[in-house]
Chains A and B, each alone.
Chain A
Amino acid sequence: MKRLLLLLMLGLSMAVKAPLALAADELTLGVFAYRPVDIVMSKYQPLAEYLSEKTGLTVRLQVLGQEDMNRALAANQLDLFLTNPSHFLVIRSERSVTGVLATVLRRSGATSTASVGGVIITRSQRDDLNELTDLAGQMIASPGIHFLGGYQSQLLELKEAGIDVRRGSRIKLLGSHDRVVRAVVDGDVAAGFIRTGIIEDMLTENPRLGDQLKVLNPQNLTGFPFRVSTRLYPEWPLVALPHVDQRLVRRVAAALFSLNRNDPAARAAGIAGFAPPADYQSVEQLARDIRVAPYDQAPQLTWLDAFHQYRLWVIAIAVLMTLLLASSLWLGRKKRQLATSQRRLRRLILSWPQPMVMIRDGKFLYTNRAAVELLRYESWASLTNKSVASFLPSLQPDGLSSTGKISDTMNRVHRGAVETGEWLFQRADTSELWVEMTLAPIDGGGENEHVLLCALYDITRRKQAEKRQRLAASVFDHVGEAIVITDEHGMVVEVNTAYGAMTGRTRAQTAGRLPPLPLEEGSGVLQATRERGFWSGEFEWKRSDGPPLNLALTMSAVYDEQGNVTHFVGIYSDISAIKKQEDQLRTMAHYDALTGLSNRSLFADRLQQTMAQARRQNDHLAVVYIDLDHFKPVNDAFGHSAGDDLLVEVASRMRSTLREEDTLARLGGDEFAAIIVNVEDRASLENLLKRLLADIAEPVWVADHLVEVSASIGVALYPQTVELDGDQLLRQADQAMYRAKQGGRNGYCLFETTGIEA
C-alpha cells in the first residue's frame, strides 16, 4: 500500500518536475528512505530548506526507496542524492557520478561519528542467542541486501565466524529498519540486522525498547556513540550527479560543510554536519568479501593480464606441461605397447593347447583354458588361489606323501631348478589324472614372491595303456596255455612260460624255429591260417624228453594295416589227459571190467562183422554159448571175491584155448560166448569144445580152496539154410546150451535146424 502511494507520488512529481529540473535554480535532493518515508521526510525537510536558503536555489526533497531511487536516477530526475554506502556502490557501478561531495557526520548527544556499522538484535528473553554462532539456522530479518549496516556488515562478521546465513534462505528482507525491529520485537524472527543509531533513534520514541532487545556480538569501541555488533565503515555519502552545473555543486558543498551541528536542520536530520568525503574502499572490499552487487562476480582477469603478471611462471609451467605431456605420451605409448605384448603373451598362454598354470606360494595364480578343462573346472577364476596340494591324492604311486613331495619339488624350483616328473592328480570328482608336470621358476630379479610356471601334460591314456600292456604281459606269462608268436614264416619270435613248460625247451632253444605242428600237415597249417585267418586242430606230438603229448592248437594270423600277415599266434592246450580218459571210457563201454573180455555189445558188433565176412568169404563160423555149472554154490560158499577169481581164471583158460582170431566175450554172470571162425569140419569143432570143457573142469585154486566147476555149452553154426541175424544165432546157441544142461551138464549140444541134437 505504502509502495503504491510512493509510486503515485513519484508519478506526480515526475509529471510536475520534469520541466522544472531543467531550470538552473532548482535542485532535487533524493534521500534514501532507510526508515518509513514520513519519518525520513520530516528528518530531512529542514536540511533541504537549509540548503535552499544557503545556496539561493530551490532544493526539493524526495524520499525514495532503493528501487525508486534507481529509477529516478536512470531518468536523471535527481541532482543530488544521499544514501547508504552499499547502495552508493551499486549506483556508481551502474552510472557515472561526480563523486562524493561529503560524508555524513552522525550525531549522538554531544559526540558525532562518520562511521556506521551493523547491529544484530534479538529479544532480551532469547537466552539461547548469545554468540554469533548461535544464529546458525535461525530466521533473521534484514531491511535489504544493499544496506551496509542492515545486511552487509553483519554478513561479513557471520562469515568470519563460519556461518553462512544466506544458505537455505534464512533471511527475510523487510524493506526498512523499523519493520526489522518490529519483527524482532514481535518474535516473528529470531534476530534482526539494523544499522547503528536506529535503536538509539527509536529509544527516544519508545524507551521500553531498551529492555526488550539485546545486541549480539557487542563491540566495545571507545568514543563510538552507538551500540554496534560489527566493524565500522564510513557513513552515508552525499553525491552530486554529473549533469549538475559545477558552480551549483560548489555552492552546495560549501553549504554542506558550513552546516553547524547546532543548526536546526542538523538537529532534525540527526546529524552533526558533513565531513570531507571518506574513503569508501572498505565498503567495496566488504562487498567483494561477501560477494554482493556490484561485486557479486569475481573480477575478470584476462589471459594477457595473467601472462604479464606471471610471465616467468607461465613460461615455466608451460615448459613443464609440455615436458609432462611429452612424457605422458611417451609413457602412454610404452604402456600400450606393454599392454599389447602382455595381452599377446596372455592369449598365448591362455589359448595354448597344453595346460599351463602359474603358481605363487603353492597356489594357482593363473590357469589357461586347457588347464581349466583338464582339471574340469568352470573358469580360471574358480581355480585361482586353490592350492596345488588339494589336487593331489594323499599318496603318490611311488609311496611318497603328496604334500611332502610337492613342497620338496617346489623348494628345488625356487632355488632355480627346473623339475619334470609324473604326478597322479585327483580331480574334485575323484577321477584320477596322470600328468607329466614341468615346473620352472619365472621370478624376475628383485621380486620377493616366488612365481612358478607349470606345464601339465595329460599322460592318463599312456598310463592306462601301460597298465593294460602290463596286464596282457602278465596274462601271457601266467596263463596255463602255451602261447607262441611267430613271424610271417612261422619262426618263433616269442613264447610264454607255459610254452617252455609244455615243450621242455628254453626260450632260446625255440627262437627262430618252427613251433610244434601236426606231423602230417606241417607248414600246411600255416598256409591254412594265412588263407582263413585261423586254424585249429589236435595232433599228437612227440616230446623230445618225455611221453608223447596230445595237443590242441589254435593258430591265428596277425595282420598289418595293409592286410598282410605279419605274425602268427598259436595257443596250445595239452589234451593228453583228456585223450586218455576218452580211451578209458571207450574200453569201459566194450569190455568186461572183471575179465577184460569183450562185453555183450562188443560181442554183438563182432558177431555182425564176422557173419558178414563169413558170407563174403563163404566160410563157416560157430557161435558158442558157455554157462558155468554149479557156480552159484562157489559164490555162496566162498564169497563174491572168490567167485570173481574163479571167473577170471576160467576166462583166461578159455582164452588161451581159443585161437587168436576167435572172439571170447562175457555176457554177464557166469555166462560166456565165443565166435569161432573158419570152422572147417565138425570134428575139429567138437575137439575144440571138448578141450574147452576139459580146461574149465580143471580144478581152480580160489580162496585157499581147490574148486571144481563144469560148463554146459550150446553151439549154433552159420550159415544155415535160412538167413538169420546175430541175435537169432546167439539165441540158437543159448537154446542148444539149455539142452546140454538138461542133458546132464558138462557136455555140449549143437543146435539142429531140424531140432535134432547132433
Chain B
Amino acid sequence: MHRRQFMGLLASASLAGAVIPGCARETPLRVGMIHWIGYEPLFVAKEFGWLGDSVALTRTASGSETITGLLNGSLDAGGMTLDEALRVSSQGVPLTVIAVMNVSAGADAVMVRPEITGLRDLKGRRVAVELQAVSAVMLLKVLEEAGLTRADIEEIDLPVDQHAQAWRRNEIDASVSYEPMASVLESLGAKRLFDSRSLPETIFDVLVVRRDRISQRKGALRSLLVSHFKGLNHLVRNFHDAVYRVATRQEVTPEAVRHALGTVTLPDLSTNQRYLAPEGQVDKAAGNLQALLLKEGLMAQPVDLDRLCNASFLPRSPV
C-alpha cells in the first residue's frame, strides 16, 4: 500500500474512481490525487470554483490508483511523493515535477514500544514497514541515521493501515508509519522515536505531470498551479474558514485538521521556486532517493534526473 492511501481510505469513498469526463470543448487537464492534508490547497480551490474549465480535479481512492491512472494515461497529472514519482518514471512513463505541494515535517514517524529509547535499540527488532511506499524511504533514512543496515533489523513488509492491528497482536516492536496512523499507535501506547522533523526538506509531496502531455497542456498546467497557490493562500490566510472546510471534506474534527497541518509545511510560491531551481532541493533529494532505492533494489533502473523538475509553470507573480 502506498503512502497517504491510509488517509484516503479514512475519507469517504463517494468520489472514488470517478474520472469526470470534460465537458469543455478542449478536454480538461485530468488531475488525480487522494484526500490528504498536504493536497488540500487544490481541493479548496476546487470548492471555491477557482479551477476553471481547463482542469478537472479528481479524488482518487488511493495513491496506487493515482499511479495507475498516470501509467495508463487516464490521468495527465497527479499528486504523489517524490520517491513514487521516481519509481513511476523508472517504469517507462517519465514524469515531471511542476510543484512541491508539501514537505513532511513530522507527518512521517517511527513509533516504538516504550522500552526502545534510542535509534540503535532498533537493532534486532521487528520493524513494520511498507516497502513500496514512502515508509521505505523513511526506514532507510532512519537506519542511515542509526548507523544500521536493513540486515540489522527484522523487516516486516506490511501496509501501513494494518500496523495498528499488528501492534495490538504484539507482532511488531516498531512501525514506520505516518499520520494519522502514528497518532493511532500513540494512543495504543507507542512512543514517537523519530519523525520527519529530523529529516527537513527530504520527504516531498509533489505535483507531477506526464512529460508527454506537457507540450499540449501548458495553459492548463499554469492555471492548475495558479489555483493551487490560490487555495494555499486561503488555507493559510483564511485559516479560520479553511479549517472547517478541510475538516468537512476529510470528515475529521477541526482540531484534527489543526494538528495535521502542524505536521506538514506547505511551501509558498517563492519556496517552490527555490525548491525547483536547477540543483535545488528537489533535485538533490531525488538524487539521494534514487541512489538509495537503486541500492536497496526498490527501483529497477535509474531515470534521467536532469529533466525531473520544471519550474516554468509556476506563476510569475504572487497570486
B254, A233: Cβ atoms closer than 8 Å: no
A234 interface residue (CB < 8 Å to B): yes
B140 interface residue (CB < 8 Å to A): no
- Taking a contact as CB atoms closer than 8 A, the residue among A220, A234, A285 that contacts B240 in the complex is A234
A224, B244: Cβ atoms closer than 8 Å: yes
A609 interface residue (CB < 8 Å to B): no
Q: A115-B244, A232-B244 are in contact. Are A222 and B254 (CB under 8 A)?
A: yes
Q: A220-B248, A223-B254 are in contact. Are A115 and B237 (CB under 8 A)?
A: no
The 8 A CB mask of B90-106 against A (1 = contact, 0 = none) is 00000000000000000
Q: A222-B253, A222-B254, A223-B253 are in contact. Are A282 and B241 (CB under 8 A)?
A: yes
A222, B240: Cβ atoms closer than 8 Å: no
A232, B248: Cβ atoms closer than 8 Å: no
Chain B residues with CB under 8 Å of chain A are 48-49, 237-241, 243-245, 247-248, 251-255
- Return A287 CB to nearest CB of chain B, in Å: 13
A285, B248: Cβ atoms closer than 8 Å: no
- Taking a contact as CB atoms closer than 8 A, the residue among A160, A220, A232, A281 that contacts B241 in the complex is A232
A43 interface residue (CB < 8 Å to B): no
A221, B239: Cβ atoms closer than 8 Å: no
B244, A221: Cβ atoms closer than 8 Å: yes
A222, B241: Cβ atoms closer than 8 Å: no
Contacts of A698 in B (CB 8 A): none
B247, A232: Cβ atoms closer than 8 Å: no
- Taken together as a complex, chains A and B put the C-alpha atoms of A232 and B44 apart, in Å, by 14
A232, B237: Cβ atoms closer than 8 Å: no
A114, B240: Cβ atoms closer than 8 Å: yes
A281, B247: Cβ atoms closer than 8 Å: no
- Taken together as a complex, chains A and B put the C-alpha atoms of A223 and B244 apart, in Å, by 7
Nearest residue (CB) in B for A233 is B240
B237, A222: Cβ atoms closer than 8 Å: no
- Return B247 CB to nearest CB of chain A, in Å: 4
- Taking a contact as CB atoms closer than 8 A, the residue among B237, B244, B252 that contacts A282 in the complex is B237
A231 interface residue (CB < 8 Å to B): yes
- Taken together as a complex, chains A and B put the C-alpha atoms of A569 and B256 apart, in Å, by 138
- Taken together as a complex, chains A and B put the C-alpha atoms of A234 and B243 apart, in Å, by 12
- Return B246 CB to nearest CB of chain A, in Å: 9
- Taken together as a complex, chains A and B put the C-alpha atoms of A117 and B241 apart, in Å, by 9
9 tightest A-B CB contacts, nearest first: A221-B244, A232-B241, A115-B240, A222-B248, A223-B254, A282-B238, A231-B241, A222-B247, A224-B244
Q: A222-B253, A222-B254, A223-B253 are in contact. Are A282 and B247 (CB under 8 A)?
A: no
- Taken together as a complex, chains A and B put the C-alpha atoms of A361 and B317 apart, in Å, by 59
Contacts of A117 in B (CB 8 A): 241
- Taken together as a complex, chains A and B put the C-alpha atoms of A116 and B247 apart, in Å, by 16
A25 interface residue (CB < 8 Å to B): no
Contacts of A116 in B (CB 8 A): 240
- Return A427 CB to nearest CB of chain B, in Å: 63
Q: A222-B254, A223-B253 are in contact. Are A278 and B240 (CB under 8 A)?
A: yes
B248, A115: Cβ atoms closer than 8 Å: no
A757 interface residue (CB < 8 Å to B): no
A725 interface residue (CB < 8 Å to B): no
Contacts of B253 in A (CB 8 A): 222-223
- Taken together as a complex, chains A and B put the C-alpha atoms of A224 and B252 apart, in Å, by 12
- Return B315 CB to nearest CB of chain A, in Å: 16
A279 interface residue (CB < 8 Å to B): yes
- Taken together as a complex, chains A and B put the C-alpha atoms of A223 and B245 apart, in Å, by 9
Additional 15 contacts, C-beta under 8 A, given A160-B49, A231-B241: A115-B241, A116-B240, A221-B245, A221-B247, A222-B247, A223-B253, A224-B244, A224-B254, A231-B238, A234-B240, A278-B240, A279-B237, A281-B237, A282-B238, A282-B240
Nearest residue (CB) in B for A278 is B240
Contacts of A223 in B (CB 8 A): 244, 247-248, 253-255
Contacts of B243 in A (CB 8 A): 115
- Return B248 CB to nearest CB of chain A, in Å: 4
Contacts of A235 in B (CB 8 A): 240
11 contacts between A and B (CB under 8 A): A160-B49, A220-B248, A221-B245, A222-B244, A222-B254, A223-B247, A223-B253, A223-B254, A223-B255, A224-B254, A231-B238
- Return A116 CB to nearest CB of chain B, in Å: 8
Contacts of A285 in B (CB 8 A): 237-238
A233, B238: Cβ atoms closer than 8 Å: yes
- Return A100 CB to nearest CB of chain B, in Å: 14
What total of A-B pairs shows CB separation below 8 Å? Answer: 51
Determine which residue in A116, A222, A281 has the highest number of CB atoms from chain B within 10 A of its CB, and name it: A222
Contacts of A233 in B (CB 8 A): 238, 240-241
- Taken together as a complex, chains A and B put the C-alpha atoms of A224 and B247 apart, in Å, by 10
- Return B224 CB to nearest CB of chain A, in Å: 20
Contacts of B239 in A (CB 8 A): 279, 282
Contacts of B248 in A (CB 8 A): 220-223
- Return B47 CB to nearest CB of chain A, in Å: 10
Contacts of A220 in B (CB 8 A): 248
- Taken together as a complex, chains A and B put the C-alpha atoms of A160 and B255 apart, in Å, by 29
- Taken together as a complex, chains A and B put the C-alpha atoms of A281 and B48 apart, in Å, by 19
- Taken together as a complex, chains A and B put the C-alpha atoms of A117 and B48 apart, in Å, by 16
Q: Please report which residues of chain A, range 115-151, place their CB below 8 angstroms from some CB of chain B when the two chains form the complex.
A: 115-117
- Return A17 CB to nearest CB of chain B, in Å: 35
Determine which residue in B48, B240, B244, B255 has the highest number of CB atoms from chain A within 10 A of its CB, and name it: B240
Q: Please report which residues of chain A, range 368-412, place their CB below 8 angstroms from some CB of chain B when the two chains form the complex.
A: none
- Return B92 CB to nearest CB of chain A, in Å: 42
- Return B235 CB to nearest CB of chain A, in Å: 11
Nearest residue (CB) in B for A282 is B238
- Taken together as a complex, chains A and B put the C-alpha atoms of A115 and B240 apart, in Å, by 5
B240, A232: Cβ atoms closer than 8 Å: yes
- Taken together as a complex, chains A and B put the C-alpha atoms of A279 and B241 apart, in Å, by 12
- Taken together as a complex, chains A and B put the C-alpha atoms of A232 and B248 apart, in Å, by 14
The 8 A CB mask of A503-535 against B (1 = contact, 0 = none) is 000000000000000000000000000000000
The 8 A CB mask of A222-257 against B (1 = contact, 0 = none) is 111000000111110000000000000000000000
Contacts of B245 in A (CB 8 A): 221
Determine which residue in A117, A232, A233, A234 has the highest number of CB atoms from chain B within 10 A of its CB, and name it: A232
- Taken together as a complex, chains A and B put the C-alpha atoms of A231 and B234 apart, in Å, by 10
Contacts of A234 in B (CB 8 A): 240
Nearest residue (CB) in A for B252 is A222
- Taken together as a complex, chains A and B put the C-alpha atoms of A288 and B304 apart, in Å, by 46
- Taken together as a complex, chains A and B put the C-alpha atoms of A131 and B136 apart, in Å, by 50
Contacts of A160 in B (CB 8 A): 48-49
- Taken together as a complex, chains A and B put the C-alpha atoms of A21 and B244 apart, in Å, by 42
Contacts of B240 in A (CB 8 A): 114-116, 232-235, 278, 282
- Taken together as a complex, chains A and B put the C-alpha atoms of A285 and B239 apart, in Å, by 13
Q: Please report which residues of chain A, range 275-302, place their CB below 8 angstroms from some CB of chain B when the two chains form the complex.
A: 278-279, 281-282, 285
- Taken together as a complex, chains A and B put the C-alpha atoms of A423 and B132 apart, in Å, by 101
- Taken together as a complex, chains A and B put the C-alpha atoms of A282 and B242 apart, in Å, by 11
B254, A232: Cβ atoms closer than 8 Å: no
- Taken together as a complex, chains A and B put the C-alpha atoms of A114 and B251 apart, in Å, by 20
Nearest residue (CB) in B for A224 is B244
Contacts of A232 in B (CB 8 A): 238, 240-241, 244
Contacts of A278 in B (CB 8 A): 240
Nearest residue (CB) in A for B256 is A223
Nearest residue (CB) in B for A161 is B49
- Return B245 CB to nearest CB of chain A, in Å: 6
- Taken together as a complex, chains A and B put the C-alpha atoms of A583 and B49 apart, in Å, by 137
Contacts of B254 in A (CB 8 A): 222-224
B251, A222: Cβ atoms closer than 8 Å: yes
- Taken together as a complex, chains A and B put the C-alpha atoms of A463 and B240 apart, in Å, by 104
Contacts of B49 in A (CB 8 A): 160
- Taken together as a complex, chains A and B put the C-alpha atoms of A70 and B69 apart, in Å, by 60
Contacts of B238 in A (CB 8 A): 231-233, 282, 285
- Taken together as a complex, chains A and B put the C-alpha atoms of A231 and B255 apart, in Å, by 18
- Return A184 CB to nearest CB of chain B, in Å: 25
- Taken together as a complex, chains A and B put the C-alpha atoms of A233 and B248 apart, in Å, by 17
- Return B41 CB to nearest CB of chain A, in Å: 15
- Taken together as a complex, chains A and B put the C-alpha atoms of A160 and B234 apart, in Å, by 15
Nearest residue (CB) in B for A103 is B240
Contacts of A222 in B (CB 8 A): 244, 247-248, 251-254
